[in-house]
Amino acid sequence: MNNVAVIGSQWGDEGKGKIVDWLSSEADIVVRFQGGHNAGHTLVIDGVTYKLRLLPSGIVRKNKISIIGNGVVIDPWALLDEIEEIRSKGVMIGIDNLIISESANLILPFHKEMDEIREDAAGKAKIGTTRRGIGPAYEDKIGRRSIRVMDLISEKNLDQRLETVLLHHNAIRKGLGKNIFKKDKLKEDLLKIAPKILKFSKPVWKKIYEFKKQKKKILFEGAQGILLDVDHGTYPFVTSSNTVASAAATGSGCGPNSINYVLGITKAYTTRVGEGPFPTELKDDIGEKLGTRGKEFGTVTSRKRRCGWFDGVLVRQTIKISGIDGIALTKLDVLDELDEIKICVAYEIDGKEIDYLPAAVEDQLKVKPIYKSYKGWKSKTKGIKKLDDLPPNAKIYIKELEKFIETKISSISTSPERNDTILIEDPFKS
């Protein structure tokens, strides 16, 4: 049995959607286990683009089961809109191929409002969130006042749960001089859509157990990236969930031994959306070039992504934190035209060299990257499907990178298209 967890090893948008879709030809089940519609996973299949936010990237393939686990925060209206949008592209979505955990927590309109109120009030100290209500929804989950999918079953229960959560939110809203959020309209709106959500709802832990017994292959699809992890990322400039591979177990209801291979998706350079430290950021022409060639605009918010050189120190660190077994290196083709390509191999802080990113944000902002330079290959890698067909300098860059991060590069992606991918080691078979 081989189940694979796919996670981002940088600050998100590494190309997880593309790789999950490509790998899901081999999987039976694809499971989202954390995050919410802050995620934006892009698939390109024969020229048709699908942008997925909450739906697992396996949804577009026939005869696969997609699961939204308990660890995901669900905005029910966003989910219903997304289902309609993807259906309109000819994809079948029904109770036979989509399961939602009854224990998943809901993102409600007052969460989104709280996200916006706080970001607006923070001024320069803002996090640059996606303003989708992710943070406030996870706060309510941990604060034990959240509303879960299963709460939509009973009007009486929903009423009580809303009373509890709004008591908390309205106290804060009053303090910030905002209007009170009214319960009755929200309850009415929720009860209207409840049947559309509840029809997908099941005990996911039980389904996963059954699938494992049937020897089905499960692909766990992470959102965001390890540097956005609430424990291990560049706190406080992070998201509000654990994005590491072990979150796949808690976020879906199976043991950590259900994950047999952790595949870290890694861009051949680095990007970040939102605020926060970024040691290898390039605020020059090369940064602009990477952004233009890589089409680095947020899938969710359309914000311009910040771009920089590959940070080997950071990726080596996230590999260790998350137990990554192999790397899928993406967007190699974006580097095709560069004369020189750099990898960050150490940092300098206060005149001292260090080999990891310190935990304090003040230090993270101070570190200066130390680079090693490589010659560009100046030829087209876009669409290459065989390792042997890569230009020699590209092979050197990949080998050096592999050596530095001490982890095998098990696949290489050379365009947004599903099949423009070089397979070196199959994570389901190793």
Per the structure block, which two tokens stand in for 263?
């595949």
226 belongs to the binding site for ligand IMO (CB under 6 A) = no
Residues numbered 281-320 forming contacts with ligand IMO, rule: CB under 6 A: 299
260 belongs to the binding site for ligand GDP (CB under 6 A) = no
Closest approach, Cβ 156 to ligand GDP, in A, equals 40
| Closest to 67 in 3D by CA, of 164, 244, 208, 272 | 208
Q: At 135, which amino acid appears?
A: G
128 belongs to the binding site for ligand IMO (CB under 6 A) = yes
42 belongs to the binding site for ligand GDP (CB under 6 A) = yes
| Choices 82-90, 136-144, 249-257, 331-339 (CB under 6 A): range interacting with ligand GDP | 331-339
Nearest CB to ligand GDP, comparing residues 196 and 303: 303
Closest approach, Cβ 287 to ligand IMO, in A, equals 17
| Choices 173-181, 259-267, 273-281, 298-306 (CB under 5 A): range interacting with Mg ion | 298-306
13 belongs to the binding site for Mg ion (CB under 5 A) = yes
- Residues 52, 59 contacting (CB under 8 angstroms): yes
Task: Name the pairing type of β-strands 421-423 and 408-413.
Answer: antiparallel
Residue 415 interacting partner from Mg ion, ligand GDP, ligand IMO, none (CB closer than 5 to 8 Å by kind): ligand GDP
Residue 206, Cβ density class (10 Å: 0-12 exposed, 13-18 middle, ≥19 buried): exposed
132 belongs to the binding site for ligand IMO (CB under 6 A) = yes
CA distance linking residue 150 with residue 148, whole number of Å: 5
2 belongs to the binding site for Mg ion (CB under 5 A) = no
Round the CA-based radius of gyration of the chain to a whole number and report it.
22
38: phi then psi, degrees, rounded to nearest 5: -75, -20
What distance lies between CA 334 and its chain's CA centroid? 21
CA distance linking residue 247 with residue 241, whole number of Å: 9
Residue 44 interacting partner from ligand GDP, ligand IMO, Mg ion, none (CB closer than 5 to 8 Å by kind): ligand GDP
301 belongs to the binding site for Mg ion (CB under 5 A) = no
- Residues 67, 252 contacting (CB under 8 angstroms): yes
Closest approach, Cβ 17 to Mg ion, in A, equals 7
Q: Tell me the residue length of the chain.
A: 430
Residue 228 interacting partner from ligand IMO, Mg ion, ligand GDP, none (CB closer than 5 to 8 Å by kind): ligand IMO
CA distance linking residue 17 with residue 299, whole number of Å: 11
135 belongs to the binding site for ligand IMO (CB under 6 A) = yes
Kindly state the number of chain residues that form the binding site for ligand GDP, as judged by CB under 6 A: 22
Q: CB under 8 Å to 122, separation ≥6 — which residues?
A: none
13 belongs to the binding site for ligand GDP (CB under 6 A) = yes
402: phi then psi, degrees, rounded to nearest 5: -60, -45
Active site residues: 13, 41
148: phi then psi, degrees, rounded to nearest 5: -110, 165
- Helix residue ranges, H only, 65-199: 76-87, 109-122, 134-142, 155-175, 183-198
| Choices 38-46, 65-73, 91-99, 252-260 (CB under 5 A): range interacting with Mg ion | 38-46
56 belongs to the binding site for Mg ion (CB under 5 A) = no
Contact footprint for ligand IMO (CB under 6 A): 8, 11-13, 38-41, 127-130, 132, 134-135, 223-225, 228, 239-240, 273-274, 299
Q: Residues interacting with Mg ion, by CB under 5 A?
A: 13, 40, 299
Give the footprint of ligand GDP on this chain (CB under 6 A): 8, 12-18, 40-42, 44, 295, 299, 330-331, 333-334, 413-416
